[in-house]
Amino acid sequence: MACRAALLFVTFALGGALTGCATYSDSFGTIERNLSTRQYDAALQDIEKQADFRTGRVLYLLDKGMVLRMKRDFAGSNQALEAAKSEMERLYAASVSENALSFIVNDATVSYAGDDYEQVLVHLYMALNYLELGQSGDARVEALQVDIKLREIGEKIPESKFTEDALSRYLTGLIYEELGEWSDAMIAYRKAYEAYNKYQVNYGLAMPDMLKHDLLRLAQRQGLKDEASRYRKEFGIEPQQEDGHISGQEGELVFILNNGLAPIKREKAIGMWVPPPVAAVSTSRTSGSRPHTQEKPAMPVLVNIALPYYESRPNNVMSARVSVSGKQASTRMMEDIDAIARASLDSRMTAITARSIARAVAKGAIQKSVDKAGNNRDSDPAAALLGSLIVRVAAAATERADTRSWLTLPANVQLARLSLPPGSYDLTVDLLGADEHVISTQVFPQVLIRKARKTYLTQHWVPVNPTTRGRK
């Protein structure tokens, strides 16, 4: 039985060797370079090569959707992201065979269904796509799906840090407000308020001033006097400071900066020779060891544990300044995806480490049984040694950390709002570095602002310095 497991294991190890030993994140370098030089079609071609990669189908679709929206093909992006959503839904049921395989090969053999925050952010980006297409009704659908998803996550892991997504809640509020559904908007802003309070604790991200004014304005509009005065006291907003924006005659520009790229998972490998595990000895004894076989001293087992860790990608852009016909607005950080991703991995690290150790023990058991088979009286000692060696190499080669994550996400999302009289505007966006010096400037011509409506505009900044490199 143990030998059959060893055979299966070697088969998969060879399969792994044929497809190359690079982890998922190592293969992302060329795509990133193309993104930073805005060669989206070239990046899409590279992404397309991952289409047949079965366990990474969700990531392929997510990356494709994200690059298509950088290219401003919002409808195409929604198609890809919708496909990613249904694939995630399909993977809700855990595969028994894949999980069994992951126990002897590595975590990357399990189909990637997306981290919790990734599953929420799909909806956010689909909502933004619909908003940029001017389909606020469809953006509303995504907002409702975010609510369902967050409820599901909250129920599944109540102690998780990520049970609320502040930016999604805030955007939901903006969508409802534009559609004139005031009470729903109020509820969404309240949830954003609670979420930012949690963000402050978990990720050190303070509540944006925009939300404070929105809460106050809407509480007053809905006649919630107590709540309004509570907000006024808590946020220290004087009555004359209250912004009277959106007078009903003006339109509004909502500019969203997707800043940089989300952190990338790397692997750290620890390889060591350890004494054979006790479990292996006991199982081989039960499978009928012959009393006359001469027991050689057990060979040590090469244990290779590979663990993932996050590496932030350097970015020199701190914020953006939107200028249009003499008016200016600066962006404010609304979501720190870098911090969310790190916290998410931290919370799962104990489980990942435990699985890796269990796997090392299992691989050790396989090595042990092959050694034992080789020690049998009628076997050729050279072949036995070769067999032992192959199994050891296979064990070391297959132990790779699962470094999969949605790499085309931004490191953080920033937002600026600017109320403007209806009309067509040429918009200038300056990307600012640490000391407010301009790093890059982009002009968006003829942005249409409509009366009492919001116009959404997003830009994704990918820094030029290639930060992804192969590492072994």
Q: What residues contact 255, with CB distance under 8 A and at least 6 apart?
A: 320, 322, 329, 331, 415, 416, 417, 418, 427, 429, 457, 458, 459
Question: Contacting another protein (CB under 8 A), which of 14, 21, 51, 144?
Answer: 144
- Please, what is the end-to-end C-alpha distance for the chain in angstroms? 34
Tell me the C-alpha distance between 192 and 186, whole Å: 10
97 touches another protein by CB under 8 A: yes
If the CB atoms of residues 146 and 211 are measured against another protein, the closer one turns out to be 146
CA 295 to chain centre: 51
89 touches another protein by CB under 8 A: yes
DSSP state of 305: E
152 touches another protein by CB under 8 A: yes
201 touches another protein by CB under 8 A: no
95 touches another protein by CB under 8 A: yes
Tell me the C-alpha distance between 62 and 85, whole Å: 9
**C-beta of 83: minimal distance to another protein in Å?**
13
51 touches another protein by CB under 8 A: no
6 touches another protein by CB under 8 A: yes
Query: Per-residue x/- mask for another protein, residues 374 to 393, rule CB under 8 A?
Result: x-x--xx--xx--x------
CA proximity to 414, closest of 316, 313, 314, 318? 318
Residue position matching structure tokens 């193309």: 34
**C-beta of 229: minimal distance to another protein in Å?**
32
If the CB atoms of residues 94 and 464 are measured against another protein, the closer one turns out to be 94
Applying the rule CB under 8 A, the residues between 155 and 174 that interact with another protein are 155
If the CB atoms of residues 96 and 443 are measured against another protein, the closer one turns out to be 96
79 touches another protein by CB under 8 A: no
Question: Contacting another protein (CB under 8 A), which of 93, 201, 351, 443?
Answer: 93
DSSP secondary structure of 154-174: HHH-TT-S-S--HHHHHHHHH
Interface region with another protein, contact rule CB under 8 A, candidates 82-90, 210-218, 245-253, 348-356: 82-90
11 touches another protein by CB under 8 A: yes
Applying the rule CB under 8 A, the residues between 351 and 370 that interact with another protein are 370
If the CB atoms of residues 144 and 358 are measured against another protein, the closer one turns out to be 144
DSSP secondary structure of 313-372: PP----EEEEEETTEEEE-EEEE-HHHHHHHHHHHHHHHHHHHHHHHHHHHHHHHHHHHH
Applying the rule CB under 8 A, the residues between 114 and 143 that interact with another protein are 137-138, 140-141
Question: Buried b / exposed e across 89-100, counting CB within 10 Å, b at 16+?
Answer: eebeeeeeebee
Tell me the C-alpha distance between 376 and 296, whole Å: 11
298 touches another protein by CB under 8 A: no
If the CB atoms of residues 3 and 281 are measured against another protein, the closer one turns out to be 3
CA angle (420, 217, 244) in 5-degree steps: 35
CA proximity to 43, closest of 337, 359, 460? 460
Interface region with another protein, contact rule CB under 8 A, candidates 56-64, 94-102, 286-294, 344-352: 94-102
465 touches another protein by CB under 8 A: no
**C-beta of 286: minimal distance to another protein in Å?**
17
Q: Which residues form the interface with another protein (CB under 8 A)?
A: 3-4, 6-8, 11, 82, 86, 89, 92-97, 137-138, 140-141, 144-145, 147-148, 151-152, 155, 370, 373-374, 376, 379-380, 383-384, 387
